[in-house]
Amino acid sequence: MEQKKDNQNEIKLNLGCGGRPLDGYINVDMDTVDELRRRYPGSSNFPPGLKVYQYDIFNLPYKDGTVDEVRADSFIEHLSFIEEPKLFNEAKRVLKRGGVLRFQVPDFEAVVKAWLEAKDDWKEFYRTDDEAIAKNHWFGNYSYTVGNRWGYLTAGLYGTQNSPGQFHRNCYTEGKIRAMLKYLGFTDIEIERADDVRLPKGVLPGVHLLVRCRKI
């Protein structure tokens, strides 16, 4: 097992890295780096020599209290109700005392509110062929619009569903996150908001919740 370290001693894990592997982290995903390159053609995030590990995220190959940071961006919402506590408890197990857990998830409440306010204007069935992906088909809307319920907003609720791992099976609000982390015994809970960079500025502002906390 390779332990890629940052600042000489730190062990930092990036779980479910997908198209966002990070320097200074041990990047972990269900797909190999070659599979990720095929999923994200043209991306500059997969340089030669990049390693992505297919570790069991519910049984990480690290001893108790040995990891400095566990990170999971746009990933935890893909876990089932049964898998959810397994992941959080595994992160808690491997983290050192004072170690950092950080993750990013869509704000389910914000997406639902936007969906209810949008037009009920179904156009076409969903497509995942190369042309559809290149033209941002999104159920026939051909844009990242949030003005139609049956478009990008639907994917915000259920995932893009263009590969086995791209289904949303869980959801989060700020209230749930604070209660859940307190229940698990994490402290110094901080939640910030960020825009979805794929949307025009000002559309669904702060739809992503950026969470940071520490193991007691």
Quickly state the pLDDT bin for 2 (edges 50, 70, 90): very low
Same domain for 99 and 154: no
Q: So what's the pLDDT on residue 4? A: 47
Q: Give per-residue pLDDT as tens, 138-157.
A: 999 999 889 999 999 999 99
Same domain for 34 and 63: yes
Same domain for 181 and 141: no
The CA-atom distances, in angstroms, between 138 and each of 76, 142, 154, 159 are: 23, 6, 9, 12
**What is the extent of the structural domain holding 129?**
110-158
Same domain for 142 and 196: no
Same domain for 62 and 101: yes
d(CA 160, CA 168) in angstroms, rounded, equals 8
CATH number of the domain where residue 51 is located: 3.40.50.150
Look at the chain and report how many structural domains it folds into. Answer: 2
- Cα-only R_g, the chain: 18
Q: Give per-residue pLDDT as tens, 91-130.
A: 999 999 999 999 999 999 999 999 999 999 999 999 988 8
Q: What is the mean pLDDT of residues 2-21?
A: 79
Could you tell me what percent of the chain has a pLDDT over 90? 80
Residue 92 lies in a domain: yes
d(CA 14, CA 71) in angstroms, rounded, equals 5
Angle at 31 between CA 27 and CA 32, to 5 degrees: 75
Buried b (16+ CB within 10 A) or exposed e, 53-89: bebebeebebeeeebbbbbbbbbbbbbeeeebeebbe
Same domain for 118 and 148: yes
What are the backbone dihedrals phi and psi of residue 92, each rounded to the nearest 5 degrees, phi first? -65, -40
Q: What is the DSSP string of 159-202?
A: ---SSTT------B-HHHHHHHHHHHTEEEEEEEEE--TTSPTT
Q: Which helix (H) or strand (E) holds 213?
A: strand 208-215
Same domain for 184 and 114: no
Q: Give per-residue pLDDT as tens, 144-195.
A: 889 999 999 999 999 989 888 889 999 999 999 999 999 999 999 999 999 9
